Amino acid sequence: MTFQSMIMLFSCALFLLGSSSATSDTIPALQAIKDGDTLVSNGQTYELGFFSPGKSQNRYLGIWYKKISTGTVVWVANRETPITDKSGMLKLSTDGNLQILSGNSTKIWSSNSTVSMNDNLVVVLQLLDTGNLIVWDNSSRKQSVIWQSFDYLGNTLLPGMKFGKNKVTGREWSMTSWKSPDDPSPGPYYHWLDPTGYPQMFVRQGSVILWRFGPWNGHKFQGLPLENPNPLYSIVFVDNEVETYYKFELKTSAVQRIVIMPDDTTVQLHWIDQIQDWAMYSIAAVKDGCGRYGLCGPYGSCSMNRYPPCKCMEGFRPRVPDEWDRANGSSGCVRNRALDCGSGDGFKKISGVMFPDTRWSSYNHSMTLVECETACRMNCNCTAYANSDISGSGCLLWFDSQSSFSKKIRVLAVVLSASSAVLLFAAVYAYIKKKKIPLMKERGNLYGLNKKSNNVQMEDLDELPSFCLREIAKATHNFDVNNKIGEGGFGPVYKGVLEDGREIAVKRLSETSKQGLEEFMNEIRTIAKLQHRNLVKLLGYCIHGNELILIYEYMINKSLDLIIFDETRSTMLDWSKRFNIIHGMARGILYLHQDSRLQIIHRDLKAGNILLDANMNPKISDFGLARKFVGFDVTAKTKKVVGTHGYIPPEYALYGRFSIKSDVFSFGVLVLEIVSGKKNREFSLDGHNDNLLGHAWRLYKKGRSIELISASLHGSCVVSEVLRSIQVGLLCVQHHAEDRPTMLSVVLMLVSEGVLPQPKHPAFYTEEGRSELESASSVDEDTITLLYAR
């Protein structure tokens, strides 16, 4: 079969269907569907009944399309047990078991699904417009599913079907081809999702793997012809402790299916066009011959643009040279010299490739690439590492699958030792924790916390070290005014030095602070559970009487506003440092919105809350106003608008609505302030009344954005990066929240060189006496091009 055959249309053949006498989509228990009768879904999309495929005279119970591509079968019940005449019937028993019987009442097929009988049990069979055949239990107020055909895939994947595995029950959702157009029994080709290591898809013929798709790169499975995003469908991938599965959902009324061809090894996507016939929407599943599994063997690379297509990676040679001379590279390659992990073997960057098999890999979606490299270097069996997500996040590690048995024993011994240590630690921690909570409560009473402190839940403090007031007072020279480095609505901030030499920042929430207690607890509940290099680290707390104190790592360069808005100190930040700050802030906010275990909206992003370490790396601070959210872009509403004017968007300032797009707006303001060295609120220019956002917008429309940059940057700026940063900033401060990008898009736009979207007018923009503020209301996704191997 040639690769051109992968774009051939598929039909399960012609069918000898009897006359249809049933029009309902539902039947109760004990009512039979005889050969010649059918069940039709409510929208007339699908039909269930007995049929004969192709030239066969055998009868099968199946589901096919009713109105479009009539007779194309998408599911078969008795694939391996056909009926030889037209005496068959489908019957639902009173306990929920679905059975196919022949004329002499012989059981041909059964769903093997029953529920406990009771006097109120009501079971019904229904064919849905999704193509799912369901046995319902209607005995309670809420319907429950006893059995469904979507759990038993054939050769077709319909929208809404899961494709993967339940790790608890062991149930697999996989596809098997038909033997032929005349025989729907399981054929030689099997398509499944393997959750081992990092999940990926395979197609095999018998026991021989033919094709591989994947792994999941954050948007799609590499090599699979389902594009994401797509106007016709959306893709869902779930990977957790219970199950790993893939599915797609329709966005339009177009009917789609994925089929394993009965005479080939390809996976194809079909859809229904306006003339109601099958048509290919996507490209073939495998773009060229390099898609065949193991074509060039271990450590070999493949390209159809050269002959022979296989080539060993740098530092490797053919395992069997004679075979490679005959253009057969399946034996793979071996190293020119053995790895010497202890001598510091390095890594080589490989770009533009499909990832190798990930069954012998491990992954962590919260690790950075730098942390990923460190983890790989620490394990001599680690052979390569890369980001697990095309956005540039996560860690994927490959390990030597050919490790000897003795090596496995040593690794196992280490794992067992580590496991024992973990168990011991857990036991000790449980004992300490049991003792700690009463001591906390006793200390709170001892220190005389006033009644507003009753909202303090002591379990929220368990994850943080506590400091005594005497220790903090000594570190700050009794809160000497000369050690004061800041002031906020919560109270003053002091620099301190602990007895072990660590420099700290002490945030003292005084008795007179109106938001002190609320901010204190909010800070502990959020930042104490967050870990990211662009977030300031909370070291501990102190509770003593009416005093509530938080202790942070000390940032020697203090806050961003003290530098960029100061004419003299602004020279400390050339363009490369400012661009690094912009990128670091974006990564930190993306972590809060998407990658942290809490999902946080900061609500008070401003230059004063961006701290700078000794290398001018940004650290987001002050989480007192932060709020947790669940899901994507959730919008909440409050009557109490908090934050800093000049950094909050119109929907929040006017109506109290905040979301992740509120933080995006604040980030955009920060970008324009960093580029210009000017404050948004205090900006003024002769000739118009624009704030900084309006001024940046005017210059952008005239093609003169470069004029926005601070005078201190003229000698160091990279024009392309400056213009890209300004355009990203303007995209973030657009008036309508739905027009603003997500922080994931922001990070990608900052590091890519593709064409950016055109921004609309910013919020709070006025022009010639007319207010624009409404008072009423490219990276190739097929491959991740960052893979390091040794």
> At CA 718, angle to CA 716 and CA 722, rounded to 5?
110
d(CA 701, CA 719) in angstroms, rounded, equals 17
Q: Cα dist. 674→183, 253, 582, 614, 700 in Å? A: 68, 47, 8, 18, 17
d(CA 616, CA 153) in angstroms, rounded, equals 56
* The pair of three-digit structure tokens given for residue 78, joined into one six-digit string: 């008795």
Cβ neighbors of 601 (< 8 A, separation 6 or more) are: 592, 593, 626, 627, 628, 629, 658, 659, 660, 662, 663
Query: Is 137 annotated as catalytic?
Result: no
> At CA 535, angle to CA 530 and CA 538, rounded to 5?
65
Task: Name the phi and psi angles at 485, rounded to 5.
Answer: -120, 0
Cβ neighbors of 347 (< 8 A, separation 6 or more) are: 373, 376, 384, 385, 788, 789, 790
Closest CA to 286 of 224, 232, 227, 355: 224
Tokens 């032929």 locate to: 180
d(CA 782, CA 255) in angstroms, rounded, equals 25
DSSP 672-693: HHHHH---TTT--BTTB---HH
Question: What letter would DSSP give residue 771?
Answer: E
Question: What letter would DSSP give residue 328?
Answer: -
DSSP 557-597: T-BTHHHHTSTTGGGG--HHHHHHHHHHHHHHHHIIIIISS
Q: Cα dist. 468→439, 498, 508 in Å? A: 14, 12, 13
Q: Please tell me which residue in 37, 264, 604, 622 is annotated as part of the active site.
A: 604
Please check whether residue 573 is in contact with residue 563, taking contact to mean a CB–CB distance below 8 angstroms. Answer: yes
* The pair of three-digit structure tokens given for residue 785, joined into one six-digit string: 């091009």
Please check whether residue 283 is in contact with residue 220, taking contact to mean a CB–CB distance below 8 angstroms. Answer: no
Polymer length in residues for the chain: 790
d(CA 739, CA 749) in angstroms, rounded, equals 15
Please check whether residue 244 is in contact with residue 199, taking contact to mean a CB–CB distance below 8 angstroms. Answer: yes
3-state class (DSSP) for residue 170: coil
Q: Write out the catalytic residue numbers.
A: 604
